[in-house]
Structure 1
Amino acid sequence: MILNLSIPLWLKAYWQHSQIFAFLDRLAQWQQHSSWVGIGLLGSLLVGLLGLLPYLSNNQSGLMTISIAIIWVLIWLGDTLTGQALKSPLHLPLICYWGIATLATLLSPVRRDALEGWIKLSLYLLMFASMSRVLSTSTSNFLNGRLNWRSLLVGSYLVTSLLVGVYGLRQWFFGAEELATWTDPTSDLAGTTRVYSFLGNPNLLAGYLLPAIPLGAIAMIVWRSWSAKCVGALVAIFSLLCVRETYSRGGLYGLYAEILALVILLIYWWSGSQRLPKWAIPGFIVGTVGVLVANILLVPSQRTRFFSSFLGRADSSANFRLNVWASVLEMIKARPILGIGNGNRAFNKIYPFFQRPGYSALGTYSVPLEITVETGIVGLVLYLWFVVTAVRHGWQQLNYARQQQQAEGLWIIGAFSVIAGMISHGLVDTVWFRPQVQILWWLAIALIASFNTLTFNSSDNLSNTPSDLEIDLTDNQANEPD
């Protein structure tokens, strides 16, 4: 369902004769006739942000995000003036969630601290809107329209993630200094090198590289030149190896989930255009599960790390999380409907009143719990509605692309796999709220939102536009235990 609210005529007339409307109308007309403020500038800023994401501080990322949000608002005003504003079924649940988050902030017991978290949330949602707007544009304005924005944005992330992965593997080979107590000193893995590359945290590195695995694999299939295919393959392989060497248990859960989702969806895609034997689909699925299980059982370090999750309080990290989760549940019981407001600063003010002695925390170490703490049960339900809507919309567009044999629909498979991996990781960790991971989450959602049947129909009519880019090369848990 696309958001389509009817406005009373008297209110609409009052608005159209107001000074604010006159100012916005002039601003929109200026944007329409501007050769600078357009999709080219917005897309270039997004490409730059995705390329520099691992190396930027939170403040630097915030400044770039604000710049992108301002440019998007100007473009949106111009689109609204011409009736070309992008509409998506995802907008209604997302606006509803933002509304509840706003109400939770206004009613927060620590309103001033929650306001900062609300501003961050609003900027992330504007980031999603910006990515959706750029990705829904068939081609860029560079090189006579031969560059595809979808490949430019994804390619920027993949190239920089390749550098991050290579440096992470270098740390694995030569060793790296531990910057925090990431391994239980009493476990069999004490002294094991956990790589963190440029991000300074193994769990954050795992969260950052998880999307690179399915997106790299899809790029290897979709991109046309062999050099670009090699880049996609290298990104997927290096990122997979690097995630394993982070020894992040949440990262491993996400890795297994996204690989399984990627294999199943690719088999489903190819089964539509090729006649596969009856045993092919179950055979590939069983084979993939077998490889994942063999990796756990046959590699001692992976086996130890994976099964330590089931030791309960016998493992120091699991025991820490269990105590934090118990305190967080008490916080939810105290304010179950709308929560305490957004952001880690609000959490830091309220959590000490429920904290168990010796178990201080900067977050809930679980994304569903964090959303519930911040916006209550109402917020969690609305966010689940948003995710379900995104998956449902993506599934419809994937089936349309599969029927029409549109290769760009494979990006939806990549986005689905990213979502599966991030959700699995987020069940036991909250690096999802860090800019280096949160922005990639919205990139995956924007990939889905940018597709609709009109997009595919328009691309069918572009006789001289390639279906994708041909390129040769193309503030939370800083020291969390795991």
Structure 2
Amino acid sequence: MIIQHSVFLRFFARLWLVLSGAWEGSVLGSALDRMGLAVQRWLRGSGLFRFLWRPGALVRGWPESRVCLLFVAILNLPCALARWIYRVGKGVWDGSAVFRLVSSMGGATYVFLGLLMLVMLVAPHDYWNNLYGLIGAAAVCALFAVGSANHSHMRVEGERVGPYLVFFLLCVGGALVNSLSTSLSMRFFAFHLTSFLLVLLVVSAVRSVDDLRRVVALAVAGLAVASLYGCYQSYVGVEIVASQQDLTLNYGMPGRVYSFFDNPNNFAEILAMLLPLNLALLLICKTWRGRFWSLVSLALGVAAIGFTYGRASWIGLAVAILVFLALENWRLVPVMVLLGLCAIPFLPETIYNRILTIGNLKDSSTAYRFYIFDDTFTLLKDYWYRGVGLGSDVMKQVFMGYPSMPDGSFPIHTHNNYLQMWGETGIVGLLSYLGVIFYGLKTGVKAFYRNTDRQVRHLLAAAIGAFCGILVVSLAEYTWFYPRNMFTYWFLFGVILACVKLSRSGQKGNA
């Protein structure tokens, strides 16, 4: 009751309504309205826009294609086996309290998916093994299969991932087989498999907006715990690591917090991916209690990403918010940009100084990236068509056959997702990866504009924004180097596809 009657929350809610109303009636708002209508008319008449917007022949024919039908049939073999076993011993199974319990749990697989994400986000680095991700994803998949035994509506909806992801998986498999060191590539194949299972679970286990909201809420709860610990680290102080910050240009900057993730950039990337979903939860919560805790979690996350001093992730989060606003109400974008620029001088001095180093080639970490890019392009001259094989371990080994960087060291990865995929899987793998990205964003944006459910729209706008943000971060960071970040990346992609599914099926959560 205290939260429901919170003066603090009611004040900000009323302030938002006042500002929104003032903006709607302002001269600038009206001018932007007219400009927006003009842009929309121009886009509708643009041949390039119509070409990009229309579904391609491959996407149109995918659900009914033999490849898709075979792919879905293979994915559903465990469910088919579970149903057959259930039918054979129906009387026995129906009388088993254990089976009824496990079956009920399987019917709520989305809860265990959310719990898996929560555990991944709060497990300390020293206690985490990346194999746990695969074991957890496989266990939730097994639970889903058991639940499908007496829930006929449950099936693995593999057709919803689209043709490009399937082709990318084939390229990943090819990169394993053709790797210069298959033994080094094997564990990275396990990471890709885990990621694919997470996408399938999000798409297949979520059947309503309420399901999706609960999955996201559990993931955000894990993020809140990690953020709280990150804020605590900032309070007590952490060791300054010279390799993580230029001590000359960033004089006076404290140690960068990393929470449970060993490296501040890893933590910052996870925050950049999940904070927009946290914002969406704040907007769709039905109770003041939910809004309060969403607001607390959001505040902790924003503070934590500041304390990471991760410049690429700051930019990524800014892009995510701008894309979110562009989808929700694009007229707010220039206002937000203006407010953001005006707020910069009021930031803490260390954060302000850190922002000033963005793009500064005198910064050692920035210069180091360009050395890595130079070495990467040298490697790609020899392996552009086939790649060196799956994983950064193989690439690190190959790099050692080329001249070292000026400091005598060799790159351990390319510091760029796109170059990394090119170097690992070859040009075909890179193109398939770009196809996955384009497919996810295109179907997501189209679903957003065709959907009328407020909750789905908020979640979809946040997921698309977050995905765009991490794509920008991926220009300066290899965001999959830390597997938990990779798992979160594909979980986010799965959220987009789940929203698309809900948009197409017209399913809604309980009011």
Give the TM-score, by structure 2 length: 0.75
Q: Could you tell me whether the CA contact under 8 Å between 2:79 and 2:155 is conserved in 1? A: no
Match of 1:319 among 367, 372, 375: 367
Mapped to 2, the partners of 1:156 and 1:454 lie a distance apart of 19
Structure 1 match to 2:172: 101
Mapped to 2, the partners of 1:362 and 1:192 lie a distance apart of 26
Once the two structures are superposed, residues 209-230 of structure 1 have per-residue CA deviations (whole angstroms, 9 ceiling, x without a partner) of 1133211111111110111111
Structure 2 match to 1:276: none
Q: Does 1:459 align with 2:459?
A: no
Match of 1:123 among 194, 212, 216: 194
Which structure 1 segments of 5+ residues have no match?
Answer: 140-147, 269-280, 468-482
- Structure 1 residue 149, shift from structure 2 partner: 2.1
- Structure 1 residue 203, shift from structure 2 partner: 0.8
Match of 2:301 among 234, 239, 251: 239
Q: Could you tell me whether the CA contact under 8 Å between 1:89 and 1:389 is conserved in 2? A: no
**CA distance change for structure 1 residues 190 and 326 in 2, over 3 Å: closer, same or farther?**
farther
**CA distance change for structure 1 residues 85 and 188 in 2, over 3 Å: closer, same or farther?**
closer
Once the two structures are superposed, residues 72-126 of structure 1 have per-residue CA deviations (whole angstroms, 9 ceiling, x without a partner) of 2684696999895425453310110111121122122212212221222122111
Q: Does 1:361 align with 2:411?
A: yes
- Structure 1 residue 295, shift from structure 2 partner: 4.0
Q: Does 1:114 align with 2:185?
A: yes
Mapped to 2, the partners of 1:83 and 1:5 lie a distance apart of 22
Q: After superposition, where does 1:186-205 map in structure 2 within 5 Å?
A: 186-205=248-267
Greater length-normalized contact order (CA 8 Å, ≥ 6 residues apart) = 1
Mapped to 2, the partners of 1:459 and 1:166 lie a distance apart of 35
Match of 2:313 among 245, 251, 254: 251
Q: Could you tell me whether the CA contact under 8 Å between 2:195 and 2:491 is conserved in 1? A: no
Q: After superposition, where does 1:24-423 map in structure 2 within 5 Å?
A: 26-30=81-85, 35=100, 36=102, 39-40=106-107, 42-56=109-123, 57=125, 60-69=129-138, 71-72=140-141, 75=144, 84-135=155-206, 137-138=207-208, 148-178=210-240, 181-268=243-330, 281=331, 284-299=332-347, 300-312=349-361, 314-357=362-405, 358-401=408-451, 404-423=452-471
**CA distance change for structure 1 residues 162 and 24 in 2, over 3 Å: closer, same or farther?**
closer
- Structure 1 residue 386, shift from structure 2 partner: 0.8
**CA distance change for structure 1 residues 166 and 371 in 2, over 3 Å: closer, same or farther?**
same
Q: Does 1:6 align with 2:56?
A: no
Give the TM-score, by structure 1 length: 0.80
Mapped to 2, the partners of 1:405 and 1:362 lie a distance apart of 45
Mapped to 2, the partners of 1:295 and 1:353 lie a distance apart of 48
Structure 1 match to 2:489: 441
- Structure 1 residue 179, shift from structure 2 partner: 5.3
The 3-state SS of whatever aligns with 1:431 is coil
Q: Could you tell me whether the CA contact under 8 Å between 2:280 and 2:462 is conserved in 1? A: yes
**Which amino acid is 1:261 matched to?**
V
**CA distance change for structure 1 residues 183 and 354 in 2, over 3 Å: closer, same or farther?**
same
Mapped to 1, the partners of 2:320 and 2:501 lie a distance apart of 26
**Which amino acid is 2:64 matched to?**
N
Mapped to 1, the partners of 2:506 and 2:359 lie a distance apart of 51
Once superposed, what is the RMSD of the aligned Cα atoms? 3.2
Which structure 2 segments of 5+ residues have no match?
Answer: 1-58, 91-98
- Structure 1 residue 4, shift from structure 2 partner: 3.2
- Structure 1 residue 190, shift from structure 2 partner: 4.7
**Which amino acid is 2:394 matched to?**
A
**CA distance change for structure 1 residues 60 and 359 in 2, over 3 Å: closer, same or farther?**
closer
